[in-house]
Amino acid sequence: MINKAIIILSILTLFSCDNIEKSDELYKRAINVYALSDLPNETKIDSSLALTNLALKYNADNVKALEHKTAMLFQIRDLQGAIETTDKIITELPKEPYYIFQNAILLYVDGDSLQADKLKNEAMLLYQDKLQKDINNFDLRFNYITYLEGIGDTISANRQLNILKDNHLEDYQREILENRPREINSIDRMREYFSGTLELNELIENKN
């Protein structure tokens, strides 16, 4: 259920902005509604998604809004919508392996293994190329570790993790490493979630 008052108020306060500014502001409000409001969870998600869709009407290339839309679609178990939205992100950021692998995972869940394999391999090559050029990039190597774990290559993932730990890290980066998930959800568990037999909290907590 969408909170219509939030949507109407957001539109009324944006008349003086250009389209890109409107899009950015609506995206920020979508985040605030989801993260900070006291609305029921279903209303937060629906209202945040509605604001995000408005943001994308003003600027269809707003990557942050596309990212948030993907997250909201994931929460409402809209697999096809999530695939289409990650496709749009890849169109805007064709050399970003994080989004390419995200799209591959969704395609595996959807049963399109041929295209998923192609994207998975493309992501691998991009990660390796980027790390050769930027070996000390924490976020890039952290995402690469997640990628390796996602494809089941735990030996390479642990090797990359040790490289990361040997770097000079900020306290917040060490905290990220300490709190990272120790197990990656399987494609089968993702399918259970999208089919409705597994709840989001169970997926996040990776319960057996």
Summarize pLDDT for 23-74 with one digit per residue, the tens: 999 999 999 999 998 999 999 999 999 999 999 999 999 999 999 999 999 9
CB 106 within 8 A of CB 151: no
Q: Which residues of the chain have pLDDT under 70?
A: 1-17, 182-183, 206-208
Instruction: Give the pair of three-digit tokens for residue 82.
Output: 């999530």
Of 29, 52, 76, the position where a domain reaches its end is: 76
Residues 28 and 43 in one domain: yes
Single-letter amino acid, residue 110? D
Same domain for 150 and 189: yes
**What is the predicted pLDDT for the residue at 14?**
58
Does 183 share its domain with 199? yes
> Strand, helix or coil at 17?
coil
Q: Do 120 and 190 belong to one domain? A: yes
Residue 34: what pLDDT? 95
Last residue of a domain, one of 24, 44, 76: 76
Domain count of the fold of the chain: 2
Q: What single letter denotes the amino acid at residue 76?
A: I
Do 71 and 87 have their domain in common? Answer: no
Q: Choose the final residue of a domain: 61, 76, 91.
A: 76
Residue 143: what pLDDT?
A: 95
Euclidean distance between CA atoms 203 and 185, whole angstroms: 7
**Rounded Cα gap, residues 52 and 25, in angstroms:** 10
Helices (H), the chain: 4-12, 19-36, 41-58, 63-75, 79-92, 97-110, 113-133, 138-150, 154-166, 171-179, 187-195, 200-205
Q: Which domain holds residue 158?
A: 79-208
What's the CA gap between 111 and 82, in Å, rounded? 14
What's the token pair of residue 102? 């995200």
What's residue 78's pLDDT? 98
Q: Nearest Cα to 173, choosing from 158, 161, 185, 187? A: 161
Residues 8 and 53 in one domain: yes
Kindly report the pTM of this predicted structure: 0.86
Cβ atoms within 10 Å, residue 97:
25
Give yes or no: residues 93 and 108 share one domain: yes
For residues 151 and 199, membership in a common domain is answered with yes
Burial environment of residue 208 by CB neighbours within 10 A (0 to 12, 13 to 18, 19 or more): exposed
Task: Mark whether 89 and 60 lie in a shared domain.
Answer: no
Can you give the pLDDT at residue 207? Answer: 45
Helix (H, G, I), strand (E, B) or coil at 77: coil
CA distance 54 to 95: 27
